[in-house]
Amino acid sequence: MYISKFQILNYKSFRDSGSLEFQPGINIIVGTNNSGKTALLESLGLEFEDNPYRNIRMRDIPDSEFADKSVANITFRLEKSDISALIDEREIYIENKNALTIFQEWFNKVKDIEVTVCNYNNKPSVVISDFPEDINLYQSVPRNELGVSILHTKTVFYLYTEKTGEFKLKEPIHIFEYSNKPFPQILFNELKGQIYKLNAERFHIDSRSFGSSLILKPDASNLAEVVDQIDARGKEEIYEKFNKYANILFPEIKEVFASSKRQTPLEVLVWSPEAFDRKREDLALKLADCGTGVSQVLAILYVIVTALEPKIIIIDEPQSFLHPSLIRKLINIFKKFPQHQYFIATHSPTVISEANPATILQLSYSEGETKTKIINSKETTELRALLTELGVRLSDVFGADAILWVEGPTEELCFPRILEKFGYFSMKSIQIIAVKNTGDLAGKRADTFFDIYDRLSGGKTLLPPATTFILDSENRTKKEKEDISRRGKEKVKFLERCSYENYLLHPQAIFEILKQENPSLEIAVADIKNYIDEAEKQKLFLPKNCVLKNWKSQVNGAEVIKEIFSKFSNNTVEYRKTKHSLEITNWLLEHEQNYLQKLAEFLKEIIQE
């Protein structure tokens, strides 16, 4: 059993969400703050009240009974066994044997069963897919629930299920004619009761008198009662499993139990391993004294471990009360209980990366309302494959407004520092990420790789549409640059110099980093300056057949710095490109910021396009 379709209309920031399709397993809802995640979870949990959508762009509309009503349409998909179990547990009756024949034919014919509730919260109607119109199933209810005067009786037959799966009738009985609930309503009430919504806030777990319920309330207020029941009613296997998973998530908790002293109400206590080994209940901690996330996690664990039938579990922003490592563990536990459907609202890449979700619903707020976009499991799998091909993790790019692909890890580290120091970072979130293999962007595989980047940055993915490449010039000809730019759909920009290291040929900066690595070196800044000047004079470190225009722009900058490190340290300091280029950059930004001014302005133009 799971929610397969959902639509919310006229609620908070939702004018109309459109029909949203979900799958069994883990469904992720992502979006920035104030994009509508909490509103969607409230409506999914069917616990919302009228809070109509308002927009300054809206024109005055005529009064109608729907103008101030917030409504939802929801479809559950069930297996046949769910119907059989409900009939046996709830004592469903039918009016005659002919109706049983029609019902049995329908049941044998259908594969999966859909139950759709339209206009929930405002005169809802419940429809079972392809259910025969000329038969009625009911459940008897007490007279005081009906509020009507009951004068007449009628004969009905209670249904039961044989081991073969066939439905049979018990002996006829007489009931009051109006003392019944229609089967679709019974079914929906049952389905609604399977939804658990857990908020991103500390639960207020009540102290409770002893009870007999095994059903945890949605607000978890009776956690003490239900924990006491699985500990005391011959359910050792379930109780052990509950504590096993609690200990996996919280190693400092060996056992969770309910206790009552001197006729005081039950309360939940947790035992540390040491207190448990010594059986020192006086050393146990009250759940109320534990961290914020503990009560939420224990409530979630109780539901998924003890449930005999599939549940729908809705969790709001788990990263707000759980450490990333705990989130990973919890999601891996979810995967051990795939019969349940999970909805998790988050903006954490950790959740998305670990969950491998069946669907991702992306929310965005624009033009005064929440917009929705569904990304299914096939698309999320493809997204992961594409990112793997590029050597990038989803957490590297999730949540960015724009992506700037750069030549390598050196630029990935240095460009953000330059933009930040010059105050050129815009309010947009821009991720600067190294291209895995820039040779692929210029060689025979260029079309393939540009296509991968294009697919990652467009359509139904979690990545932003704005993508630009900044590559080294590497003394490419004008024609070569134009060809690469064309293949990259005009999204490729080239540094004015051969490589980033060409911007770092600053004698004082190189000297400072060399001395930092080996303070005993007896060198002077003038020595390094003279070496660079002599290399320029002799036209060293240039590619073959180079038409020289500007040595500092065309030279292999990394090779120059490497040779300086080697020569002036007597081979005691090896130039490590990423590490030392970053250190030279930091020194320049701190002491000679203007030296990088031109490069900073080049980067600024790109990120502001």
| 598 or 221, higher pLDDT | 598
Mean pLDDT of 396-412: 80
**pLDDT of amino acid 396:** 65
- Most confident by average pLDDT, 142-151, 398-407, 471-480: 471-480
| Candidate from 13-17, 162-166, 204-208, 301-305 with smallest mean pLDDT | 204-208
More confident residue, 242 or 480: 242
Of the ranges 191-205, 251-265, 373-387, 496-510, the best mean pLDDT one: 496-510
3-state secondary structure of 448: helix
Please determine, for residue 320, whether its predicted confidence score (pLDDT) is greater than 90: no
pLDDT for the residue numbered 445: 59
Q: Is 291 or 125 the better-scoring residue by pLDDT? A: 125
Average pLDDT (517-543) is: 95
* pTM listed for this prediction: 0.74
Q: Which spans in 263-348 are helix H?
A: 273-278, 292-306, 324-335
Identity at 446, one-letter amino acid code: A
How far is Cα 433 from Cα 398, in angstroms, rounded to an integer?
A: 12
Task: Map tokens 């039961």 to a residue.
Answer: 160
Return the pLDDT at 274.
86
Q: What structural domains does the chain harbor?
A: 200-308 (no CATH), 386-494 (3.40.50), 500-607 (no CATH)
Neighbours of 107 (CB within 10 A): 17
**Per-residue pLDDT band at 395 (split at 50, 70, 90):** low
- pLDDT for 62: 47
Of 248-262, 365-379, 452-466, least confident by mean pLDDT is 452-466
Judged by average pLDDT, the poorest of 1-15, 413-427, 501-515 is 413-427
Q: Encode pLDDT of 170-229 as tens digits.
A: 888 776 665 567 888 888 988 998 999 876 565 656 555 567 788 888 778 888 889 988
Average pLDDT, integer, range 515-529: 95
Query: What confidence score (pLDDT) does residue 376 get?
Result: 73
Q: What is the pLDDT of residue 393?
A: 66
- Highest-pLDDT range among 152-161, 367-376, 400-409, 465-474: 367-376
Mean pLDDT of 308-325: 88
Categorize the per-residue pLDDT at 61 as very low, low, confident or very high, splitting at 50, 70 and 90: very low
Give the side-chain half-sphere CA count within 13 A for 33.
Answer: 1
Q: What are phi and psi of 176, to 5 degrees?
A: -65, 140
259/571: higher pLDDT: 571
302 contacts 216 by C-beta, under 8 angstroms: yes
pLDDT tens digit sequence for 573-592? 999 999 999 999 999 999 99
pLDDT at residue number 182: 81
Which residues have a Cβ under 8 Å from the Cβ of 526 and sit 6 or more positions away?
Answer: 507
pLDDT for residue 150 is more than 80: no
Confidence of residue 384 (pLDDT cuts 50, 70, 90): low
Task: Output the pLDDT for position 20.
Answer: 96
Residue 76, C-beta contacts closer than 8 angstroms, at least 6 positions apart: 1, 2, 3, 4, 114, 115, 116, 191
Taking residues 454-476, report their average pLDDT: 71
Residue with tokens 């664990």: 301
User: Mean of the per-residue pLDDT values for the chain?
Assistant: 84
* pLDDT at residue 9 is higher than 50: yes
The residues near 553 (Cβ < 8 Å, ≥ 6 apart) are: 473, 496, 497, 498, 502
Q: Please state, in angstroms and rounded to a whole number, the distance separating the CA atoms of residues 130 and 516.
A: 78
pLDDT tops 70 at residue 462: no
Cβ(356)–Cβ(4) under 8 Å?
Answer: no
pLDDT of residue 262 exceeding 90: no
Cβ of 317: how many Cβ atoms within 10 Å?
20
Query: What dihedral do alpha carbons 264, 265, 267, 271 form, nearest 10°?
Result: 30
Asked if the model's pLDDT at residue 525 lies above 90, the reply is yes
Mean pLDDT value of segment 68-73:
90
pLDDT for position 449: 66
In this structure, the number of other CB atoms found within 10 A of the CB of residue 169 comes to 16
Give yes or no for residue 400 having a pLDDT over 90.
no
Please report the pLDDT score of residue 426 as a whole number.
Answer: 57
261, pLDDT greater than 90? no
Q: How confident is the model at residue 28 (pLDDT cuts 50, 70, 90)?
A: very high
More confident residue, 508 or 392: 508
Q: How confident is the model at residue 443 (pLDDT cuts 50, 70, 90)?
A: low
Q: What is the pLDDT of residue 201?
A: 62
Beta strands (DSSP E) in 465-533 are 466-471, 492-494
The secondary structure of residue 216, as a DSSP letter, is: P
What is the per-residue pLDDT for 300?
92
Q: Check residue 528 and give its pLDDT.
A: 97
Mean pLDDT confidence for 49-61: 71
The tens digit of pLDDT for each residue in 323-337 reads 888 888 999 999 999
**What whole-number distance in Å separates Cα of residue 452 and Cα of residue 248?**
39
